[in-house]
Amino acid sequence: MSDYLWLNPFFIIYAVAVIFILGLLIGSFLNVCIYRIPLGQNIAISRSHCMKCGHVLKWYELIPLFSWLIQGGKCRSCKEKISIQYPIVELGNALSWMAILAIWGFRPVTILYCACASCMIVISIIDERTKEINLGLNLFIGLLGIARVVLDYRNWLYFVIGLFAVSIPFLIIVIVSKERAMGLGDVYLMAAAGLLLGWKHVLLATVIGCTLGSIIHLIRMKISKKGKELAFGPYLCLGIYLTILFGNPILKWYISFLVH
């Protein structure tokens, strides 16, 4: 592709709009994953249907965001309320892609980070509900990590160290606490994320995730007035996502702080 095309503002606006719509559509698929994976259902087979009356959704009822708004959040057939989680996940996925695109631009690594963000939306919601992180979802991020090593093969050691930087200490915590403090799912998540981000970045993601996790968890316990078991995955995912966006400037600032 010629450089000229990338400098054309109309082409950029068009490309961003297409990626936003694709983000909504993939968000719609993430909703299917969030519902079906904990039930052990196949995510590819059988058309989407109302969970109450079994009404099979027509094509215009599958348009992300708008179908929910037009139908007023209800099934057209039985008027059962459709959770607001559906449009939120669709819009959230598209917006999370937009932020990554704004910072990383049109590069191969942007695709890996967007795929990781989408996968982490599914991981976070399922972990929050079931306190479990599906191995297949962690493996998916691991595959993105392998792609990152291939793309950035000159720095392969940075990513391979990342594979172990947080996962080994986490594994020790799991063994010592007998899976009370965290689960093996968190270990695999940080191994996969380490391969995708590299060791300094995955350490930063862990610091951000643990800090935000303890603050938000304390607030939530205050509000609900009961000790609730902590799902660690969503906070780790938040740390990973913020590191994807702001990791480079934060690490640069921190290292200049150490040197001076």
**Interacting residues with Zn ion (CB under 5 A):** 50, 52-53, 55, 75, 77-78, 80
The rounded distance, in Å, linking the Cα atoms of 248 and 109 is 14
**57 or 103, CB closer to Zn ion?**
57
Closest CB 75 distance from Zn ion, rounded Å: 3
Closest CB 31 distance from Zn ion, rounded Å: 16
76 Cβ contact list (under 8 Å, min separation 6): 55, 61
Closest CB 127 distance from Zn ion, rounded Å: 28
**51 or 215, CB closer to Zn ion?**
51
Length of the chain: 260
Closest CB 63 distance from Zn ion, rounded Å: 17
**75 or 121, CB closer to Zn ion?**
75
Largest CA distance in the chain: 66
Closest CB 68 distance from Zn ion, rounded Å: 14
**Residue whose token pair is 């010629």:** 2
**53 or 69, CB closer to Zn ion?**
53
Closest CB 79 distance from Zn ion, rounded Å: 7
Q: Where are the alpha helices (DSSP H) in the chain?
A: 3-7, 9-36, 66-70, 85-104, 108-130, 135-151, 156-165, 167-176, 184-197, 199-224, 233-259
**17 or 53, CB closer to Zn ion?**
53
**73 or 92, CB closer to Zn ion?**
73
3-state secondary structure of 81: strand
**52 or 107, CB closer to Zn ion?**
52
Give CB contacts under 8 A, 24+ apart, made by 241-249.
241/96, 241/117, 241/120, 242/205, 242/208, 243/197, 243/201, 243/202, 243/204, 243/205, 243/208, 244/100, 244/113, 244/116, 244/117, 244/197, 245/99, 245/100, 245/103, 247/197, 247/201, 247/204, 247/205
Closest CB 77 distance from Zn ion, rounded Å: 4
